[in-house]
Amino acid sequence: MPSLSKKFRTLKRLRFHPRAPGGLSGLGWLSGWLTGQRHRKRDFLAAKLISQSSLFESRWYLQTYPDVADSGTDPALHYLDSGWREGRDPGPHFSTNAYLRANVDVARSGANPLLHFLEFGYSEGRGTWDHRPGSRPVTSPGEPFGEAAPCVNLSVPDDPPVRWVRAVQLGQADGILSVDGLPVGYIRHPAERAAIENSFAWLAGFSGYPREDVVKFGEVDAIDPPCSLLDSWYLDQSRLRTRWLPSSGPMVVRVFQHDPFCSGTLMMVGEGLATTSLDFVDVSLWNPYFPLLFVLAEPDGRLLGTRPLPFPSLCRGGLHYPELLALARGDRGSAPIDIVGQGQLLSERLISIVRGAAPLVESMRVDLSGVDGTEPLFQPDFRMWLDQIAGISIGEDGPDAAESGQSFLAAAVGLRSRRSFRPGGGTLVLAADMVPTLSVLCAAGGAIGKSRRDTLLSLIVAEADVSQPATLFELPPTDSAPFQAPVPGVRSAWPRLIGKSRKSDGQLVGAIRRRRTRDLTDAELFVPVSGPEPIGSQEPEPITWLIWPEDWDDDVLEQALEALSLSSGAGSQRIALIGNSDAAISDLADRLFPGRTRSYERAEFAADDAETSLVGYLGSGVILHDKRCPRLLSSLMRHDGVATASCAIVSTEARGKTFRTSVIDAGKLAAPSMDAATIQVGEGEAGRLWRTVYSVARPPRDLWIARFSSLPEWLRSGLRPQDLSGQHLCTTLVTASALPREGHRTTRIRPPALKDGALQSEALYG
Amino acid sequence: MKISVLIPSEEFKQYAGARIRYGRLKPHLSQLGIDIALANVAEFAPDKAECDVLIISKCHDARALIAAAASLERGILVGVDLFDDYFSQTSDSRLARYRIWLSQILPSCDFALCSTPAMAQTVEDYRADLPWHVVNDPADGDTPNDLSRVLAAKLAKAKDDQMLRLAWFGVGDNPHFDVGLSDVAAYSGILSRLRHSGMDVELTVLTNSRALSPRGLAMLGEVPVRTRLLEWSEERERRLLRDAFACFIPVNAQGFSAAKSLNRAVTALVAGCQVISVGYPLYARLGQRIYRDVESFLEDLASGRMRHAPNSIEQFERAVDDLASAKAEAAGLATFLTSRKARKAGGAATLALVHGFAINGPAHKLVQSLGGLSVASPYCTGDLAFDVIFQKEAGGFGMLVSDDALPRLVPGASRKVRENTSVPGRRFWKIPGGLDPQTGAGGAADRDVPVSLATYATSMKSIGVHMSDAFGPCRLFLSETSGLPLAGLDSRLALF
């Protein structure tokens, strides 16, 4: 179907053609004539577009606006010309003013709102609530599927309409292929029948309703149709919109799904004609996660082939869409993501497990801390998919539930899958606000049965707004066990695999967590976790805090020392004042830490004199506003291989009578694909890692604790990164504050970068 | 018996809490000889109030603390009504101030009224020995006489029109929790199954305009059936329930939602609507007439035998009598209250209100009007006529006592008074501080938020010690309106 813009391009080419008659003046005349013609043609096409639209109702328009009827003007032309400027509506289901109010860019452009909606707004997904709610298409039982909904409807008189045969019109003629009584299309060659039936057998088998009498499940010998699925996205929880690229003329798309609600009955869930890549075919899903089979046919009903979509949740807006982005990242260049191909790869792995291959995951356990039951793991459709297709059972993880809400959730989350094809795998432990990735559910365990170890898995954090990029947090190849820090009331930060797993499984993305949209408040930024439960061990190990008084304003240092003296385990903490210090500061420190304050000329001397195994670095301006900081950080240091432990640092900026708090330093993550690059953990990243422990390439520059034994090495110059190992752990379970400072900022000791032990962060753009 | 219900503002009288709970109980209590009236906390004088029982309702500030303590002193039976759970989320630092408020007010209370047993459990977590009583929200009047006809007519109309009209009504948002529209969106996936009925399905959402934010509207966009959206009004709610065949009322399992009353389901049932409620089984006490899944709803629809039907009205009326009868609830409340005995005031302690980071002027006036002391902590920068001011000074706290409060010092403290000083035009007498015995530092404090966070709880404990040393036994309350979790991480612990 030629588009309006294509016709304009033709005119444009003629206007500037060098051999156009009339020379320059002739060209000018021709240009003017063509411009007039173009405007007239444009108006003609636009009026036709409006009048053909279901949103324009001529009779309603004339009844509602009798002055238009009296004038004898064509109603479509009236609306196109002046009606919309006067705030009139083209019909009962489109509000001119609401559209312009909601779409300021359209209002500014001076475009006719209905025309804009038909040409652009519809395909751009402009908000439907701006139109009267009744305008949403209704799926009526007698006629469940509408025609393919074009985003541009620019038929011109020269274009003959494409006539196509709908499924209900296929009849029972010779050559008709029906599956479970549903007419599918006409077979062009007898040999194609088996191939098409194989595809339906795959759909049945993969949906958990195997047809033993047809073919072996999974052995699909499908006919590859001359088209591809360009894009697909969820309009709401049960409507999927698909866009196709037909390579040889118009084609009919029919979509089939087994309805688990009706014992697996095969249903046609969508049908439409795709003429160009701009046409949509909508699918009304019985379950948004169950597999789909697209059957492609010529308009006259002759079958072209099939396309399976094993995991619709990989489509845009679906639960697993961020995983699709992660799977396809890096090597696709500008090519579109192959949803079908990626889904098929995963499905083949799952099929191999169903056929007897050892799975990586046998069952799941769910930590219920901090959830409310609205998460996907509690929703019937997703649970039906976990049961029927993923074949996985779920148990509860964590302490006994005391509250009625928690005990309800514990009962609600349990699931015993009716399909038991996963013996021998490990147990996947997730927080209840996560969903398992398809990758982990489809992964085979291979020959790794001898090793039994717990492994943390990588995580994708997706935003509630699906148009925003998700973030992949990939664990380092080193042991990630040190940052398993379960805290009562705080949900598990990372997916965890118990039992069978390999060392390399840490890079496997185990789960997707979808964040809620609410921004963190000041209270949460200062105190991420409040409550009576302790964080970390009961008492911190003794720490010697290194402080360079000359870097500080005296009054700020007084406050920092006082805060430190009020923190947990203050009675066993020591102060090492390095370099020059005011006598008043020394006195104060000695009073707050009696007998535990020393002054040294250089940090090395403090190291030589160490009476504690742990050393803390308190850079200028940092206040431990949370008394639990030393306790939590020292408990993180108990794991071997941890080089430093630190927490996020927040800062408050006064704004009149209020203030704004933000995370200014929560360490640096490793960036993928760039050897030397790191990513500063600012507010956005910290928000995604909120209430977690994670490993960083470098700790926050002004607050960390480490082992005293490491200090001389770090102070020496010429340390080679390859000589280093270990992890810098950082946490957002507690925070410290940095007061605004003036003048030169000094960081006296920088722990070496440990990129190999750091979390990698990567934004996933759709 | 006269009951005063202390409410935070005049506007609160229009809110569902006051309208449904106390408004519907009032006539029935009156028949039992009990007069109940709402009292705006801004106009409430605890020393003059003529009531036998004081119930604190949603007044989450220091005025309620003072009013409760002063009323207790007068031998009035004091209780708190807890119908929204802002208190059990102990790891949520946003709600620390609510937890501190409850920790402070419960010692002054003789009882608590709760919306559900779950809410009562939360009360027990704070004060195990406090008697509590569950007050179910009463239904709006008796079950209509023509309920049987309404139920039959709705079923017939749904079948004739081949259309399922569903309704959701209520407050669509909350400043602290994801509730309302987010529940509708999260649980609405099951509504797509209603297509199996072969009928057209439409969900009408009736909610407050504040909830219709871009986020709220986007959530509604996820609902898989056609959705109609209207702004809430009492009249629209009545019309919607009149026309709807069923109400879809999902409930999430967080403490706030699990503590809610049965009111919405009862209202829907009384209006002749079926109720589909998935998620947390909040309405389990209403029995089998609540649909917990769409499958059984569809089966009943196909057979024409809905659970809420003419032949089960008798049972329904009994359930309403048990759980939502204004008469029964009034009788239960009257019995509970008359069996309580007001505690005798214990000893002569000085009432003192310590102002924290953000001050509350009305609370300051209230405590002074009752002869108590208004105390400025070192974090307080407000310019009020305080009786005592704590200031940071080298080595500890300096305590300034106003001319008016000077005679109230105990002899030992009077002897320490050294000099006088002027603080905004008023004369104060200074009692030197010295090192604080608990921290050794004196609890430094100023307006820097991090320093305040670090020192606040310790400083408040020090202030408590200083006040008792200076004035003898004190009943101290903290007035803090800041949203920051200043008063410590474990806010259930006593501050003073």
The pLDDT tens digits for A369-409 are 888 999 999 999 999 999 999 999 999 776 555 566 788 99
Q: Which residues does chain B have within 8 Å of residue A128's beta carbon, measured at their own beta carbons?
A: 221
Q: Which residues does chain A have within 8 Å of residue B257's beta carbon, measured at their own beta carbons?
A: 372, 405
pLDDT tens per residue, range B416-447? 887 777 776 788 998 876 545 444 343 444 55
pLDDT band with cut points at 50, 70 and 90 for residue A248: confident
Average pLDDT in the A304-330 region? 92
User: How distant, in Å, are the alpha carbons of B47, B67, B131, B342 from that of B73?
Assistant: 9, 10, 19, 10
pLDDT band with cut points at 50, 70 and 90 for residue B395: low
Q: At residue A6, does pLDDT exceed 60? A: no
Is B53 strand, coil or helix? Answer: strand
Residues 6+ apart with CB under 8 A from A126: A99, A102, A103, A117
Give the integer Cα–Cα distance in Å for A638 and A93: 66
- Which of A155 and A580 is assigned the larger pLDDT? A580
Asked if A517 and B439 come within 8 Å (Cβ–Cβ), the reply is no
Q: At residue A723, does pLDDT exceed 50? A: yes
pLDDT on residue B13: 82
Percent of chain A with pLDDT over 90: 39
pLDDT on residue A144: 37
Phi, psi of B159 (to 5 degrees): -70, -40
CA-based nearest residue to A597, from A575, A614, A623: A575
Q: Which residues does chain B have within 8 Å of residue A261's beta carbon, measured at their own beta carbons?
A: 193, 196, 295
Percent of chain B with pLDDT over 70: 94
Q: Which residues does chain B have within 8 Å of residue A239's beta carbon, measured at their own beta carbons?
A: 224
Is B31 strand, coil or helix? Answer: helix
Give the integer Cα–Cα distance in Å for A164 and A300: 6
Nearest CB among A133, A559, A661 relative to B451 is that of A559
pLDDT on residue A319: 95
Average pLDDT in the A507-533 region? 86
A294 within 8 A of A300, measured Cβ to Cβ = no
Phi, psi of B158 (to 5 degrees): -60, -40
Task: Please provide the average confidence, as pLDDT, over all residues in chain A.
Answer: 81
**Window from A53-57, A74-78, B365-369 with minimum mean pLDDT:** A53-57
- Which of A108 and A65 is assigned the larger pLDDT? A65
**Chain B: residue whose CA lies nearest to A289:** B189
Q: Which residues does chain B have within 8 Å of residue A529's beta carbon, measured at their own beta carbons?
A: 91, 93
Cα B168 from chain centre: 23
Q: How many CB atoms lie within 10 A of CB A547?
A: 27
Give the integer Cα–Cα distance in Å for A618 and A623: 8
CA-based nearest residue to A239, from A296, A286, A307: A286
Cβ of B121 under 8 Å from any chain A Cβ?
yes
pLDDT on residue A5: 39
Which B residues, 435 through 494, put their C-beta within 8 Å of a C-beta on chain A? 439-441, 444, 446, 448-451, 453-455, 458, 483-485, 489-493
pLDDT band with cut points at 50, 70 and 90 for residue A459: very high
- Which of B57 and B484 is assigned the larger pLDDT? B57
Highest mean pLDDT among A106-110, B11-15, B386-390: B386-390
Angle (nearest 5°) at CA A89 between A87 and A91:
175
pLDDT on residue A493: 85
pLDDT tens per residue, range A212-242? 644 444 455 667 787 889 899 999 999 999 9
Cβ of B187 under 8 Å from any chain A Cβ?
yes
Q: At residue A7, does pLDDT exceed 60? A: no
Average pLDDT in the A500-513 region? 78
Q: At residue A507, does pLDDT exceed 50? A: yes
pLDDT tens per residue, range B211-253? 999 889 999 999 999 999 999 999 999 999 999 999 999 999 9
Give the integer Cα–Cα distance in Å for B252 and A375: 10
Instruction: State the count of interchain CB pairs (< 8 A) between A and B.
Output: 209
Asked if A237 and B492 come within 8 Å (Cβ–Cβ), the reply is no
Average pLDDT in the A585-609 region? 92
Q: At residue B99, does pLDDT exceed 70? A: yes
pLDDT band with cut points at 50, 70 and 90 for residue A506: low
pLDDT band with cut points at 50, 70 and 90 for residue B129: very high
pLDDT on residue A331: 59
pLDDT on residue A69: 86
Bridge-based pairing state of the strands B2-7 and B35-40: parallel
pLDDT on residue B354: 95
Sort A303 into a burial class: Cβ within 10 Å, 0-12 / 13-18 / 19+: buried
Q: Which residues does chain B have within 8 Å of residue A136's beta carbon, measured at their own beta carbons?
A: 226-227
Residues 6+ apart with CB under 8 A from B286: B262, B265, B266, B269, B275, B319, B323
**Chain A: residue whose CA lies nearest to B177:** A518
Residue written as token pair 């992964």: A443
Highest mean pLDDT among A469-478, A539-548, B243-252, B459-468: B243-252
B377 within 8 A of B495, measured Cβ to Cβ = no
**Window from A169-183, A317-331, A389-403, A430-444 with minimum mean pLDDT:** A389-403
Cβ of B173 under 8 Å from any chain A Cβ?
no
- Compute the nearest-CA separation of B226 from chain A (Å): 7
Average pLDDT in the A87-103 region? 81
pLDDT tens per residue, range A418-446? 887 888 888 999 999 999 999 999 998 85
**What single string gives the DSSP state of each residue in B322-336?**
HHT-HHHHHHHHHHH
pLDDT band with cut points at 50, 70 and 90 for residue A59: confident
pLDDT on residue A458: 93
pLDDT on residue A168: 84
- Which of A419 and A286 is assigned the larger pLDDT? A286
pLDDT band with cut points at 50, 70 and 90 for residue A124: low
Sort B31 into a burial class: Cβ within 10 Å, 0-12 / 13-18 / 19+: exposed
Is A283 strand, coil or helix? Answer: strand
**Window from A276-285, A341-350, A671-680 with minimum mean pLDDT:** A671-680
Which B residues, 125 through 144, put their C-beta within 8 Å of a C-beta on chain A? none
pLDDT on residue B433: 67
Asked if B121 and A528 come within 8 Å (Cβ–Cβ), the reply is no
Asked if B440 and A565 come within 8 Å (Cβ–Cβ), the reply is yes
Question: Which candidate in A238, A241, A624, A702 is best for mutational testing of the B interface (most B CBs within 10 A)?
Answer: A238
Asked if A381 and B450 come within 8 Å (Cβ–Cβ), the reply is no
pLDDT on residue B483: 85
pLDDT on residue A568: 85
A496-498 β-sheet, strand order: A393-397, A361-367, A426-431, A496-498, A455-456
Q: At residue A25, does pLDDT exceed 60? A: no
pLDDT tens per residue, range B144-187? 889 999 999 999 999 999 999 999 999 999 989 999 999 999 99
pLDDT on residue B397: 76
**Window from A154-163, A227-236, A287-296, B61-70 with minimum mean pLDDT:** A154-163
Cβ of A381 under 8 Å from any chain B Cβ?
yes
Highest mean pLDDT among A81-95, A169-183, B279-293: B279-293
pLDDT on residue A641: 86
CA-based nearest residue to A195, from A340, A342, A295, A345: A295
- Which of A98 and A657 is assigned the larger pLDDT? A98
What's the DSSP call for residue A188? S
Q: At residue A254, does pLDDT exceed 90? A: yes
Asked if B221 and A521 come within 8 Å (Cβ–Cβ), the reply is no
Q: At residue A73, does pLDDT exceed 70? A: yes
Average pLDDT in the B361-366 region? 95
Percent of chain B with pLDDT over 90: 68
Give the integer Cα–Cα distance in Å for A493 and A456: 10
Give the integer Cα–Cα distance in Å for B322 and B329: 8
Which A residues, 339 through 368, put their C-beta within 8 Å of a C-beta on chain B? none
Phi, psi of A626 (to 5 degrees): -105, 115
Asked if A489 and B258 come within 8 Å (Cβ–Cβ), the reply is no
Phi, psi of B397 (to 5 degrees): -95, 140
Q: Which residues does chain B have within 8 Å of residue A530's beta carbon, measured at their own beta carbons?
A: 90-93, 96, 485, 489-491
Give the integer Cα–Cα distance in Å for B274 and B164: 11
pLDDT band with cut points at 50, 70 and 90 for residue B11: confident
pLDDT on residue A415: 95
- Which of A740 and A256 is assigned the larger pLDDT? A256
Average pLDDT in the A74-81 region? 89
Q: At residue B475, does pLDDT exceed 90? A: yes
Give the integer Cα–Cα distance in Å for B40 and B13: 9
Q: At residue A480, does pLDDT exceed 90? A: no
Average pLDDT in the A651-655 region? 82
Q: At residue A141, does pLDDT exceed 50? A: no
Cα A264 from chain centre: 30
What's the DSSP call for residue B13? G
User: How distant, in Å, are the alpha carbons of A73, A223, A238, A263, B443 from that of B430?
Assistant: 90, 95, 72, 83, 18
Q: Which residues does chain B have within 8 Å of residue A533's beta carbon, measured at their own beta carbons?
A: 90-91
User: How distant, in Å, are the alpha carbons of A86, A618, A619, B407 from that of A746?
Assistant: 65, 11, 8, 54
pLDDT on residue B55: 97
pLDDT band with cut points at 50, 70 and 90 for residue A617: very high
pLDDT tens per residue, range B290-299? 999 999 999 9
pLDDT on residue A330: 67
